[in-house]
Amino acid sequence: MKLHSSDNSKTLKMNHRFIGVLLILWIGVWSLKAQSYENASQHQCLKCHSKNSYTYMNTVKGKEEHRLMNPYFVLDTVAMASGVHKQFDCTDCHSSEYASYPHNGNLKLEPMNSCLDCHGGDESFASYHFERVEEEFKKSVHYKAYGDNFSCSKCHSQHTYMATARNSSSVKDIVDYSNKMCLSCHSDMKKYQLVSGHENPQLVKVHDWLPNQELHFQHVRCIECHTEVTDSLMVSHNILAKEQALKNCVECHSADSKLKASLYKYQNLQKRSEDGGLLSVLSNESYIIGTHQSPLLQLASIIIFLAVVAGIVIHSMFRIFKK
């Protein structure tokens, strides 16, 4: 009996604790809401990190001061709110010490999690094959040249990354999203030099053998020509040396275009490029010379051509023998 009552009081205590935890959680959620990226001016970090200037309290002079923000530290809150990590708040990844300003200088030394630190070995992300991606990435020119200094984040901002290729149904959007990653560095001298310490080659000049360059860069991804397609991965990550880049037009401009195994393999796009009916040809956003051969039209044109030739042959027979 005694035992029983103490048991009871124990559960009661547990319940109290449980409610306490719930309360803390609820307050947590509530304060998270107040911290939402959408309401930037209220957010403890974004009130500075989403604007071109910021205000802080100079405790030495005892007055507020205004300063310009480093443009590279201004975050795109719209993109963040739709990125894959929108659930996170800043301090889930960054130290909570950042809440105070001036930031503690030692925070610079804080190691950040890499994609693999969180996603490696996690079953719920298996379809993304993070480990295989890393393996491929480690064979790429970038990793070979710069090792761990070239992290996944050089291409994928943890703030804003979206799995566009997987989710978008517009080739143009997929291409645009993907190419901006490469161009953010390859056509930005500062960022390029940050990594390499030398000047970046002029992309337009490097690719001047390609006609309609602008059109191509809008309709194919850089990785189409600069990686080898691996069937098991959605996006090949092994950027090859320039000598191995694709230069042969027919690889894309042909009935069994390479693009079918890469850019067009995403299921949401596949439906359209698979059946070659006239309607599907007409509704495609891109027209790639050589690829959209509608079997029906092809058959029709061959039949018409043969009929004309047959007519001519018969007619000339008559002309020869009937005269």
Partner 1 sequence: MGSNKIYFYPIWLRIWHGFNAIGIIVLIITGISMQASIESSLIAFNTAVNLHNVAGIIVSLSYLVFFFGNLFTKNGRYYLIKISGFLKRPVKQAYYYAWGMFHGMSAPYPLSEKRKFNPLQKYFYVIVMYMAVPLVIVSGIALFFPELIIEKVFAFSGISITAVVHSAMGFFISIFLVIHLYVASIGKSPAENFKSIISGWHHV
- Residue list 110-129, contact with ligand HEC (CB under 6 A): 112-113, 115-119, 125, 128
Exactly one of 87, 106, 212, 267 binds partner 1 (CB under 8 A); which one? 212
- Cα distances (Å, whole numbers) of residue 49 to 53, 91, 92, 219, 239: 9, 13, 16, 34, 33
Instruction: Tell whether residue 34 is a contact of partner 1 (CB under 8 A).
Output: no
Angle, alpha carbons 248-134-204 (nearest 5°):
35
Contacts of 31 (CB under 8 A, 6+ apart): none
Please, which of residues 232-261 interact with ligand HEC by CB under 6 A?
234-235, 237, 239, 241-242, 245-247, 249, 251-253, 259
**Between 154 and 297, CB nearer to ligand HEC:** 154
For residues 81 and 78, what is the distance between their CA atoms, to the nearest angstrom? 5
Chain centre to alpha carbon of residue 59:
42
Residue with tokens 């507020």: 64
Q: Is 203 in the site for ligand HEC (CB under 6 A)?
A: yes
Rg (CA), the chain: 30
Position 266 contacts ligand HEC (CB under 6 A): no
Q: How far is the CB of 175 from partner 1 (least distance, A)?
A: 15
Q: How far is the CB of 80 from partner 1 (least distance, A)?
A: 30
* Site size toward partner 1, by CB under 8 A: 34
**Candidate residues 215, 261, 296, 310; the one interacting with partner 1 per rule CB under 8 A:** 215
262: Cβ contacts below 8 Å, ≥ 6 apart: 221, 223, 224, 229, 236
What is the footprint of partner 1 within residues 235-254 (CB under 8 A)? Answer: 248-250, 253-254
Nearer to partner 1, 233 or 246 (CB): 246
Residue 269 near which of ligand HEC, partner 1, none (CB within 5-8 Å, type-dependent):
none
- Binding status of residue 213 toward partner 1 by CB under 8 A: no
Q: How far is the CB of 256 from partner 1 (least distance, A)?
A: 10
Q: Which stretch binds partner 1 (CB under 8 A): 47-55, 80-88, 187-195, 209-217?
A: 209-217
292 binds partner 1 (CB under 8 A): yes
Binding of partner 1 by 312 (CB under 8 A): yes
Which residues here bind partner 1, judged by CB under 8 A?
211-212, 215, 248-250, 253-255, 278, 281-287, 289-290, 292-293, 297, 301, 304-305, 308-309, 312, 315-316, 318-319, 322-323
